[in-house]
Amino acid sequence: MASIKVLVAHSNVQNIDDALAKLTKLNSKQGPFDALFMLGDLHNSIKEIHTDGLPPTFYPSYNDDVTNTSTDLENHVTLLNNFGIYQLATGLKVVYTPHNFKQLDDRKELILQKLEMFNEKVDILISHIGGSKHSKEAGRNSGSDIIDAILRKVEPKYHFSYNDQLKYYENAPFQWKKSGRITRCMNIPVFGSKEKWAYAVLIELDDNESAYEVPPNIGSNPFEESKQNKRGREAKYTTDIKVNPFTKETQMKKPKIVLPNQCHFCFTNPNIEDHMFISINKNSYLTTAKGPLSVPKDEMPFSGHCLIIPIKHIPKISQSKTQEELLELNKELNDYELSIARMNFIKYDMSTIVFEISSSTSFHFHKQVIPVPKYLIFNFSSALDRQLYFNNEKFKLNGNLNFKQYTVGSSEYNDIVNDKNIEYMQFKVYETSEEQPIVYLSTFLTGEKIDLQFGRRVIAYVLRYPKRIMWNSPTCQQTKEQEIEDVKKFQSGYKNYDISN
> How far lies 437's CA from each of 341, 371, 443, in Å?
10, 14, 19
Residue type present at position 11: S
Asked if pLDDT for residue 188 goes beyond 90, the answer is yes
* Nearest-10 crossing angle of helices 108-115, 145-154: 10
User: How confident is the model over 357-386, as a mean pLDDT?
Assistant: 92
Please compute the mean of the pLDDT values over residues 266-282 and round it to a whole number.
Answer: 90
At 88-144, the pLDDT tens digits run: 999 999 999 999 888 888 898 889 988 988 888 999 999 999 988 777 766 665 688
Sign, Cα dihedral of 37, 39, 42, 43: positive
Alpha-carbon distance of 81 to 69, in angstroms, equals 5
Q: ∠ at Cα 452 (446, 453), nearest 5°?
A: 155
Average pLDDT over residues 319-337: 89
Residue of 333, 390, 329, 345 whose CA lies nearest to 493: 345
Q: What is the pLDDT of residue 235?
A: 32
Helix (H, G, I), strand (E, B) or coil at 49: coil
Cα gap 177→197, rounded to integer Å: 31
Strand partners, 163: none
Most confident of 107-121, 317-331, 343-357, 441-455: 343-357
Neighbouring-strand partners of residue 372: 351
Averaged pLDDT, 167-175: 87
What pLDDT, on the 0 to 100 scale, is given for residue 206? 66
399 pLDDT more than 90 = no
Res 232: pLDDT: 39
The pairing of beta strand 169-170 with beta strand 182-187: antiparallel
Residue among 107, 115, 188 nearest 155 (CA): 115
Q: In this predicted model, what pLDDT tens digit does every residue of 238-264 receive, in sequence order? A: 333 344 433 334 444 455 667 777 888
Average pLDDT over residues 178-197: 90
- The strand pairing partners of 126, in sequence order, are 96, 160
Identify the pLDDT of residue 139: 66
What local confidence, expressed as pLDDT, does residue 459 receive? 96
Beta carbons of 121 and 181 less than 8 angstroms apart = yes
Element (H, E) at 9: strand 2-10
CA distances from 231 to 225, 227, 228, 236, 237 (A): 11, 6, 5, 9, 10
* Residue 347 pLDDT: 95
Is the pLDDT higher at 171 or at 208? 171
Cα-Cα-Cα-Cα torsion 60, 64, 66, 72, nearest 10 degrees, comes to -50
The type of residue at 452 is L
Instruction: Specify the DSSP element, H or E, that contains 442.
Output: strand 438-444
Side by side, which strands form the sheet with 2-10? 70-72, 77-81, 57-61, 35-39, 2-10, 198-205
Q: Give pLDDT, residue 138.
A: 63
Residue 332 in 3-state DSSP? helix
Nearest to 38 by CA among 91, 90, 75: 75
What's the order of all strands across the beta sheet hosting 438-444? Answer: 277-280, 284-288, 306-310, 367-373, 350-358, 423-430, 438-444, 404-406
**Model confidence band, residue 236 (pLDDT cutoffs 50, 70, 90):** very low
Least confident of 25-34, 49-58, 449-458: 25-34
Return all residues near 298 (Cβ < 8 A) that are at least 6 apart: 348, 349, 373
The mean predicted confidence, pLDDT, of the chain is 86
Q: How confident is the model at residue 361 (pLDDT cuts 50, 70, 90)?
A: confident
Q: What is the mean pLDDT of residues 372-385?
A: 91
Mean pLDDT across 61-67: 79
> What is the full DSSP assignment across 153-210?
HH--SEEEE---SS--EEPPPEE-TTT--EEEEEE---TTSSS--EEEEEEEE-S-GG
Mean pLDDT value across residues 461-485: 93
Q: In this predicted structure, what is the pLDDT of residue 271? A: 85
292-321 pLDDT, tens digit per residue, is 999 998 789 999 999 999 999 999 988 887
Can you name the residues that pair with 125 across neighbouring β-strands?
Answer: 95, 159
Among 344-353, 357-366, 369-378, 396-405, the least confident range:
396-405
At position 468, the amino acid (one-letter code) is R
What's the mean pLDDT in 185-199?
A: 91
| Residue 109 vs residue 66, higher pLDDT | 109
**Residue 2: beta bridge partners?**
205
Q: Which CATH class is domain 2-221?
A: alpha beta
Angle between helices 380-389 and 454-463 (to 10 degrees): 130
Q: Domains of the chain: which residue ranges?
A: 2-221, 260-494
273 in Cβ contact with 267 (< 8 Å): no
Q: Residue type at 342?
A: R
Residues 350, 341: Cα–Cα separation, whole Å: 8
Q: Is the pLDDT of residue 366 over 70?
A: yes
Quick check: 414 and 363 in contact, CB under 8 A?
Answer: no
Residue 224 CB partners (closer than 8 Å, separation 6+): 176, 177
Q: How many CB atoms lie within 10 A of CB 216?
A: 6
Residue 403's φ and ψ, nearest 5 degrees, are: -80, 135
